[in-house]
Chain A
Amino acid sequence: MRTRRSWDLNGLALVLALAWLIVYPLVLVGVEATHADLGAFIASHAERAALWNSLWISVASVALAAGIGIPLAFVFERYDFPARRFLGALVALPAVLPPLVGVIAFLFLYGETGFVARGVRALLHLSHDPWRLQGPAAILLVHAYSMYVYFYLFTRAGLARLDASMLEAAASLGAGPWRTFRRVTLPLLAPSLWGAALLTFMTALASFSAPYVFGGSFRVMTTQIVATKLNGDLPTAMLETLALAVLAIAGFVVVQRNEGDRLTFSVGKGMAPRARRIAHPLARGAAAALGWTLALVLLLPHLTLVVVSLVPAGTWTTQAIPPAWSLGNYATLFGEAGRLRPLLNSLWMAAAATAAAVAVALVAAHLAVRRRVALRGAIETLLALPWAVPGTVVAIGLATLFSVDRPLAGRWVLVGTAAILPLAYLVRSLPLTGRSLLAGYRQLDPSLEEAAESLGAGPWRRLTRVTLPLLKPAIAAGASLAFVTALGDFVTSVLLYTYDTRPIAIEILASLRLADVGVAAAFGVVLMAVSAVALGVGAKAGAAAEAEAGQ
Chain B
Amino acid sequence: MKGEGRDVHVRDEKYLSVAGLTKSFGGVAAVDALSLGVARGEILALLGPSGSGKTTTLRLLAGFEVPDAGTITVDGEDVTRTAPAARRFGMVFQHYALFPHLDVGQNVSFGLAASGEAAARRVREVLAMVDLAGYERRPVTALSGGQQQRVAVARSLAPEPRVLLLDEPLSNLDPSLRERTRRELRRAIKQVGITTVFVTHEQEEAFELGDRIAVLSAGHLEQVGTADELYDEPRTAFVAGFVGRAAALPGERVAGAVRAGARALVRPEAMRFVPLAGAALQGVVTERRFVGAQAYFTVDAGAGAVFDVQAPHGAVRVGERVGVAVDRVLFWDRTDAPTHGRTE
Contact B100 A452 (CB under 8 A): no
B110 touches A452 (CB 8 A): yes
B11 within 8 A of A: no
CA distance A32 to B296 in the complex (A): 83
Least distance between A537 CB and chain B CB atoms (Å):
18
Asked if A470 is at the interface of the complex by the 8 Å CB criterion, the answer is: yes
Contact B101 A454 (CB under 8 A): no
Distance in Å from the Cβ of A77 to the closest Cβ of chain B? 29
Q: Are A550 and B100 in contact (CB under 8 A)?
A: yes
A450 touches B91 (CB 8 A): yes
Segment 9-66 of B: residues with Cβ below 8 Å from A? 62-64, 66
Q: Are A450 and B66 in contact (CB under 8 A)?
A: no
| Most chain B CB inside 10 Å of its own CB: which residue of A448, A451, A470 | A451
* Stretch with Cβ within 8 A of A (4 or more), from B80-88, B213-221, B240-248: B80-88
Closest CB of chain A to B235's CB: distance in Å? 34
Name the A residues within 8 Å of B93 (CB-CB): 447, 450-451
Q: Is B97 an interface residue (CB 8 A)?
A: yes
Cα distance A204–B321 in the bound complex, in angstroms: 80
Q: Are A451 and B97 in contact (CB under 8 A)?
A: yes
Question: Which residues of A in the span 452-484 have a Cβ within 8 Å of any Cβ on B?
Answer: 452-458, 465-466, 469-470
- In angstroms, Cα B84 to Cα A454, docked, is 5
**A426-458 interface (Cβ within 8 A of B):** 445, 447-448, 450-458
Q: Is there contact, CB below 8 Å, between A456 and B85?
A: yes
Closest B residue to A457 by beta carbon equals B85
What is the chain A residue whose CB lies nearest that of B100?
A549
Could you tell me if B62 and A454 are in contact, using CB atoms closer than 8 angstroms?
yes
Is there an interface contact between B111 and A445, defined as CB atoms closer than 8 Å? no
Instruction: Considering the complex, give the chain B residue whose CB is closest to the CB of A2.
Output: B83
Asked if A336 is an interface residue, CB under 8 A from chain B, the answer is no
B114 to chain A, nearest CB (A): 12
List A residues 398-440 near B (Cβ within 8 Å): none
Given known A1-B83, A550-B139, A550-B141, contact A457–B110 (CB-CB < 8 A): yes
Which of B87, B100, B139 is the one whose CB lies under 8 Å from A454? B87
Residue contact A456 to B97, C-beta cutoff 8 Å: no
Q: Which of B94, B101, B113 has the most CB of A within 10 A?
A: B101
Q: How far is the CA of A456 from the CA of B113 in the complex (A)?
A: 9
Known A1-B83, A549-B141, A550-B142; contact A454-B99, beta-carbon cutoff 8 A: no
- Could you mark each residue 508-551 of chain A with 1 if its beta carbon is under 8 Å from any beta carbon of chain B, else 0? 00000000000000000000000000000000000001001111
Contact A456 B88 (CB under 8 A): yes
Q: Does B340 contact A (CB under 8 A)?
A: no
B95 touching A455, Cβ below 8 Å: no
Per the bound structure, the CA–CA distance linking A477 and B295 in Å amounts to: 60
A469 to B101, CA, bound (A): 7
Closest Cβ of chain B to A432, distance in Å, is 24
A456 contacts B101, C-beta separation under 8 Å: no
Contact A549 B91 (CB under 8 A): no
Cα distance A1–B139 in the bound complex, in angstroms: 33
Q: How many residues of A contact B (CB 8 A)?
A: 22
Q: A450 touching B64 by the CB < 8 A rule? A: yes
Complex Cα gap A450–B155 (Å): 13
Please name all residues of chain A whose beta carbon is closer than 8 Å to the beta carbon of B113 when the two chains form the complex.
456
Q: Is B89 an interface residue (CB 8 A)?
A: yes
A1 to B111: give the CA distance in the assembly, Å: 19
Does A454 lie within 8 Å of B85, measured CB to CB? Answer: yes
- Cα A316 to Cα B63 in complex, Å, equals 75
| Minimal beta-carbon separation of B304 from chain A (angstroms) | 40
Report the minimum CB–CB distance from A471 to chain B (whole Å).
10
B56 to chain A, nearest CB (A): 14
Task: Please name the residue on chain B nearest to A469 by beta carbon.
Answer: B101
Overall SS of chain A's interface: helix
Chain A residues with CB under 8 Å of B97's CB are 445, 447-448, 450-451
Q: Is B251 an interface residue (CB 8 A)?
A: no
CB distance from A547 to the nearest CB of B (A): 9
Most chain B C-beta atoms within 10 Å of own C-beta, residue among A454, A455, A470, A550: A454
Complex contact B142–A450 (CB within 8 A): no
Range of interface residues on chain B?
A: 20 to 34
CB of B141 within 8 A of CB of A454, answer: no
Per the bound structure, the CA–CA distance linking A550 and B142 in Å amounts to: 8
With an 8 A cutoff between CB atoms, is B169 at the interface?
no
Closest Cβ neighbor of A452 among chain B residues? B110
Residues in B128-148 with C-beta less than 8 Å from chain A: 139, 141-142
Please, which residues of chain A bring their CB within 8 A of the CB of B81? Answer: 1
Name the distance in Å between A480's Cβ and chain B's nearest Cβ.
Answer: 20
Distance A448 CA – B64 CA, assembled complex (angstroms): 12
**Does B84 lie within 8 Å of A453, measured CB to CB?**
yes
- B62's closest neighbor in chain A, by CB? A454
- Is B159 interfacial (CB-CB < 8 Å)? yes
| Pair B110/A454 contact, Cβ less than 8 Å | no
A97 to chain B, nearest CB (A): 35
Question: B90 in the interface, Cβ–Cβ < 8 Å?
Answer: yes
B91 touches A458 (CB 8 A): no
Query: In the assembly, what is the distance between CA of A455 and CA of B88, in Å?
Result: 7
B100 touches A455 (CB 8 A): no
Q: Which residue of A lies closest to B101 (CB)?
A: A469
Given A455-B155, A456-B113 in contact, is the A470-B64 Cβ separation under 8 Å?
A: no
* Chain B window 93-109, contacts with chain A (Cβ cutoff 8 Å), 1 for yes, 0 for no: 11101111100000000
**A302 vs B319: C-alpha distance when bound (angstroms):** 83
Indicate which residue in B66, B95, B101 contacts A549 across the interface (CB closer than 8 Å). B101
Does B110 contact A545, Cβ atoms closer than 8 Å?
no
Complex: A454 Cα to B92 Cα, angstroms: 10
**Residues of chain A within 8 A of B85, CB atoms compared:** 453-458
Residues in B with CB closer than 8 Å to A551 are: 141
Q: How far is the CB of B150 from chain A (nearest CB, A)?
A: 15
CB distance from B93 to the nearest CB of A (A): 4
Taken together as a complex, chains A and B put the C-alpha atoms of A469 and B102 apart, in Å, by: 10
Q: Which residues of B contact A1 (CB under 8 A)?
A: 63, 66, 81, 83
B196: Cβ under 8 A from any A Cβ: no
> Could you tell me the distance between the alpha carbons of A270 and B141 in the complex, rounded to whole angstroms?
22
Known: A452-B110, A456-B113, A456-B159. A466 touches B66 (CB 8 A): no
Q: Which residue of A lies closest to B92 (CB)?
A: A451
Residue of B nearest to A459 (CB): B85
Residue of A nearest to B165 (CB): A454
B236 adjacent to chain A (CB < 8 Å): no
Distance in angstroms between the alpha carbons of A453 and B94 in the assembled complex: 16
Decide if B110 touches A455 in the complex (CB within 8 Å): yes
Q: Which residues of A contact B139 (CB under 8 A)?
A: 548, 550
With a cutoff of 8 Å between Cβ atoms, the chain A residues found around residue B203 in the complex are none
**Bound complex: CA of A466 vs CA of B102, how far in Å?**
9
Check B156 for interface membership: any CB of A closer than 8 A: yes
When distances are taken between beta carbons in the complex, the residues of chain A under 8 Å from B101 are 469-470, 545, 548-549
Give B115 Cβ to nearest chain A Cβ, in Å: 13
The reply to whether A470 and B100 form a contact with Cβ atoms under 8 Å apart is yes
Central interface residue in A455, A465, A470, by most chain B CB within 10 Å? A455
A-B contact pairs, 30 of them (CB 8 A): A1-B81, A445-B95, A447-B93, A447-B95, A447-B97, A448-B97, A450-B62, A450-B84, A451-B91, A451-B97, A451-B155, A452-B99, A452-B110, A453-B85, A454-B89, A454-B90, A454-B91, A455-B85, A455-B110, A455-B156, A456-B159, A457-B85, A457-B110, A457-B111, A465-B110, A545-B101, A548-B100, A548-B141, A549-B100, A550-B141
4 smallest CB-CB distances across A and B, nearest first, come from A550-B141, A455-B111, A447-B97, A451-B97
Q: Which residues does A use to contact B, with CB under 8 Å?
A: 1, 445, 447-448, 450-458, 465-466, 469-470, 545, 548-551
Known: A454-B85, A454-B87; 7 extra A-B contacts, CB below 8 A, are A1-B66, A447-B97, A451-B98, A453-B85, A454-B89, A466-B99, A545-B101
